[in-house]
Structure 1
Amino acid sequence: MAELHVELVAADRRVWSGEASLVVARTTAGDIGIMPGHQPVLAVLKSGPVTIRTAGESGSGTVSAAVHGGFLSYTDGKLSLLAEIAELSDEIDVERAQRALEQARAEDDAEAERRADVRLRAVSAGH
C-alpha cells in the first residue's frame, strides 16, 4: 500500500514524524483528508483535531493531535503540517483541559473555550 510521509511541526518543536495512509485535518475551507496520491494542496489550518492513520513496519494505528492554527502543505508524497501550537493527545492533561474549558465558559472567553475544546476532542479521537 502506498504511504505518505508526514511531518507535524509546532513553532517550538517537531511533534510527530512518520509514514501514514491517511491524515484528516481542519482547514479554513473545511475538513480535508489527505491520502497518498492526493493532488498538491496548500491550506490554512484552523484549530481542530488532526488524525493521522499510521502505516509502516510496526503495523497501523492512529495518532491524534490538537492543532491551533498554521498551514498544511502536500506535494510529492510529503505532507507538512506547520502549526502555531500542536499537542499529541497523550501529552494533554485531560483534567487541566476540562478545568480550562469550565473557566473559559465562566469568563465567556470564546478563544480559550475553543482551545480547550480542541484539546478534549483530540484526546477523545486518540482513544
Structure 2
Amino acid sequence: MLAELHVELVAANRKVWSGEATIVVARTVSGDVGIMPGHTPLLSVLESDPVTIRTTDGGTVIAAVHGGFISFSDNKLTILAEVAELADEIDVDRAEAALGRAKSGEDSAAQRRADVRLRAASGTN
C-alpha cells in the first residue's frame, strides 16, 4: 500500500488547500467515504459537510465544504467545492449569528451551511 496521496481542495473562487495526506474523509450523496492511498477510482457528488484531511506530517486539516464533487484516480484526490473554508478561516460568531437567523426564518439550507461551518470550526464531523 502507498503511504500518501496528493490532495487538492479547490473552491469555485480559489485553491483552498493542497498537500500530501494519509486519509481524507468526506460525505458524499452515497454516504461517508474514507480515501486512503491506493483506493479504487472514485467520482461522487459531495454533500455539505466538514471534510477531514490527515496530513502526512501527522496534522489535521478540516474544511467546511458546501456542495461539489470528489474525484480520486492515480493517487490524486481532487475536491471541487462550490464553497469551501478552512476551519481556522471561519468566523464562529458570524456563523452562530447566521444559524440563528436561519432558524428564525426556517431556512433549512442556510441552517445546514451554518451548522457545517460551526462543526468544521470546532473540529467535529
> Is residue 2:80 matched to residue 1:78?
no
Q: Distance in 2 between matches of 1:34 and 1:17?
A: 15
Q: What code does the residue aligned with 1:27 have?
A: T
Q: Report matched runs for 1:1-127 at 5 Å.
A: 2-55=3-56, 59-125=57-123
Q: Point out where structure 2 has 5 or more consecutive residues left out of the alignment.
A: none
- TM-score when scaled to structure 2? 0.96
Q: What code does the residue aligned with 2:76 have?
A: K
- TM-score when scaled to structure 1? 0.95
Q: Point out where structure 1 has 5 or more consecutive residues left out of the alignment.
A: none
Between the two proteins, the alignment pairs up a number of residues equal to 123
RMSD: 1.0
Per-residue CA shift, 1:27-63, capped at 9, x if unaligned? 00011000001000000001000000001xxx21000
Q: Distance in 1 between matches of 2:60 and 2:22?
A: 10
